[in-house]
Amino acid sequence: MPLYPFNWKFLPPYTVPIVSQSRIEGVLNSITATFNSPTYADGTSRISGSGVAWSFRSTSSVDSGSVRGVTTAVWCYPATMSILSQSVMFMGTASAPLLLPSMTTNATFAANGLYVAVQKYANPFQYKTFNSSSLFNSGSSNSSSISSSGFAPIYQTATNVGTVYAWECQEAIAIAFSQTSSGGVVTALTFGAIAGAFVDPESTNTTVDCEIDGNLYGIATSGTTIGTTFLNSTSDFLNHNATAGSSKFVIYYPGTDVVKATAGLVEQRNMNSLLLSPKGSLIGFPNYVKDLVNGRFLGRLREIESIRNSQTGMVFRTTGSDIGYAMGSSNVASLNAVMLVA
């Protein structure tokens, strides 16, 4: 049985100040600034902690590899949390090496890279440290041990991060970054991530198919850039690649804190991205996800549909209302993209 449908909201694209474009603390601060907008891109009001608006917090506390007064971690949580009390964290520092909880074991991460993790049973008001296997203390008495998904790379070597694109819905967030050249010219490179309960297991079996709240929690990251092949179930965004620094798609196995499923789009759902209806209308196709370990069905991306080639940040409208937003491999060219349904 499908979960209730998401309605994604698009925040105004945020231009990263030039002085911050190649500094990881500047990118982290820009994430916070983007999601603290008082309005959405369509002009409607946004109030953090209300509706589908997530709340964001940040820290400059001294952890290994950080400097006092410099932002090292930004985390967020939805307006209405289920019993699993999820929080999503972005982090990065200018120091190297960093010893962080990865998705399988501790690993050295790149300086100035941007990473993301999601934790279940998180109390966002009791932050511990990004170096811990548990980023937060427990937000629920139903869990005796809490761990994060481990950090996955959104990017490791990006410079001149010029624009932040962001979307949020009831239980998930999505974010993309475009770059500028040294002369300020926007390039076609886009990095991105989706985090939270964005996979619908389409099952009510809380033993093996879904969590006790019916959700599946995970993260999907580009690692390098969102390529033009990410809808083809290759080693690209929305498909897990075991190579360090590459795209990651990781989902918690229901009822566990440590074991995760590696996921990828089901190849059979790779419809022709140029397809339109006979009258020329945009067509969106659902995306299904499988466990790459055993080939079994995991679920459907929640209101994240394959569409014809589009630019990141494009808004699809009909009769004056938004119907969805494009997130894809380029913000200046019409290439592979998905639509986040409004």
Q: To which H or E segment does residue 286 belong?
A: strand 285-291
CA distances from 103 to 45, 80, 287, 328 (A): 37, 26, 24, 24
Point out which residues pair with 290 in neighbouring strands.
Answer: 264, 297
Contacts of 6 (CB under 8 A, 6+ apart): 169, 170, 171, 172, 198, 302, 303, 341
- Tell me if 263 sits within 8 A of 290, measured CB to CB: yes
Measure the CA angle with vertex 229, ends 332 and 231; round to 5°: 100
Give the closest residue to 199 by CA, choosing from 264, 261, 289.
Answer: 289
Which tens digit of pLDDT belongs to each residue from 213-230? 999 999 999 998 998 889
Q: How far apart are CA 9 and CA 278, in angstroms?
A: 29
Report pLDDT for 172: 98
Mapping DSSP to helix (H, G, I), strand (E, B) and coil, where does residue 24 land?
helix
Confidence at residue 19, expressed as pLDDT on a 0 to 100 scale: 75
Q: 10 Å Cβ neighbour count for 342?
A: 20
Task: Specify whether the CB–CB gap between 178 and 331 falls below 8 A.
Answer: yes
Q: Is the pLDDT reported for residue 25 higher than 60?
A: yes
17: preceding bond cis by omega (within 30 degrees) = no
Give the span between the Cα atoms of 126 and 144, in whole angstroms: 16
For residue 258, the tally of other CB atoms under 10 A from its CB is: 12
For the record, the structure tokens of 302 come out as: 């929640």
Confidence class of residue 33 from pLDDT cuts 50, 70 and 90?
very high
DSSP 29: H
CA triple 82-73-177, angle to 5 deg: 90
- pLDDT tens digit string along 118-160? 999 999 998 888 888 888 888 765 555 567 888 999 998 877 8
* Collapsed DSSP state (helix, strand, coil) of residue 89: strand
The pLDDT score that the predictor gives to residue 186 is 52
**Positive or negative, the Cα torsion across 308, 310, 313, 318?**
negative
Sign of CA dihedral 275, 277, 278, 280: negative
**pLDDT reading at 66 higher than 80:** no
Give 189 or 192, the one with higher predicted confidence: 192
Site of tokens 């239980």: 171
SS3 150: coil
- pLDDT at residue 110 above 80? yes
* pLDDT confidence tier of residue 93, bands split at 50, 70 and 90: confident
Mean pLDDT of the chain: 86
Minimal CA–CA distance to 22: which of 179, 236, 196, 252?
179
The 10 Å CB-count burial string (b at 16+, else e) for 106-138 is eeebbebbbbbbbbbbbbbeebebbbebbbbeb
Of 3-7, 54-58, 85-89, 266-270, the poorest mean pLDDT is in: 266-270
Provide the pLDDT for residue 320: 83
